[in-house]
Amino acid sequence: MSVMNAQAGAVRSMVDFYLTGMRTQIQIGFQYRAATYMYTIGMLSEPVIYLVVWRTIADQHGGTLNGIGGGQIAAYYIVWTLVRTFNIVFTPFGWEWRIREGELSAQLLRPIHPVHYDMATFAGQKIPWLIMYAPLAVGLGFIFHPSLHPRPLEVVVFFVAIWGAYVIRSLNHFVLGMLTLFTTRATALFQIWFLTELLVSGRLVPLTFMPQWAQSIAAWLPFKWTFYFPIEALVGAMSTETLLTGLLWQCLWAAIGSALVFVTFRLSVRHYSAVGN
């Protein structure tokens, strides 16, 4: 009984930490409203470019591309922007700064795993971003006329999947970031990772536009579960089985990410030289 009480207390404390961490970041987001807005607008430029390019190509091919209409392409990239808002996490490139400024030392001195700190704070940042993103999304809708008719189940799966994407990306990037503790300049490795993500996640182009061999590779990597799956859950016409199996795949990749964080953290803190402030 006392073990159960202790576990319940630990869960309550963790929920309290996440809510407090999120509140703190929401305050920071609102403190710098203009900067947050500029950031949100800047973030939209990437999918809008993709959208315009693919829409133009679709128009030149009689209005469809690989059987996908212009309205669906618009829906894909507009939902892309919402998924992107959710799957932004602490960048591995930031780890060098984090070490140099002593921020990692400060986090390691706290009785909570640093990955929770990153996940709580970035989850909080989503709230001001979403509030500022909403009118922009409406504006994009008026300009590009997306074709979007989701079923209620697709909406539910989408809202679970965007958080799943957030968790998977947070864990993967945390593992990547920790490589900085082994080698000072791990950025070259990050570039390869991000290039792969760009190509096989559905970020640059919907995976259905890719050749079959590329789609086969993508199926065995975590990237598609952080972009393509949540987007398609809302935009595409996935069967109920595909939707639910997709969520299970996300759980699997989250579990793999958690295990990697656990192992890599234990190894990397032994290498930490606390050279920063």
Rounded least distance, CB 171 to another protein, Å: 20
> 């299970």: which residue's tokens?
248
Binding site for another protein (CB under 8 A): 13, 16-17, 19-21, 24, 27-28, 31-32, 101-102, 105-106, 108-112, 269-270, 272-274, 277
- Tokens representing 148 are 């979007």
Rounded least distance, CB 27 to another protein, Å: 6
CB closer to another protein, 149 vs 185: 185
Rounded least distance, CB 8 to another protein, Å: 13
Distance CA 170, CA 92 (A): 10
What DSSP character marks residue 210?
S
CB closer to another protein, 59 vs 101: 101
Rounded least distance, CB 22 to another protein, Å: 10
CB closer to another protein, 106 vs 179: 106
Q: 11 exposed, middle or buried (CB, 10 Å; 0-12, 13-18, 19+)?
A: exposed
Length of the chain in terms of residues written = 277
Kindly state the helix (H) or strand (E) to which residue 65 belongs, with its residue range: strand 64-65
Rounded least distance, CB 154 to another protein, Å: 35
What DSSP character marks residue 204?
S
CB closer to another protein, 3 vs 248: 3
CB closer to another protein, 104 vs 218: 104
For residues 275 and 129, the answer to whether their CB atoms sit within 8 Å is no
CB closer to another protein, 212 vs 273: 273
Q: 106 exposed, middle or buried (CB, 10 Å; 0-12, 13-18, 19+)?
A: middle
Classified as helix, coil or strand, 90 is coil
Rounded least distance, CB 114 to another protein, Å: 11
Distance CA 142, CA 67 (A): 23
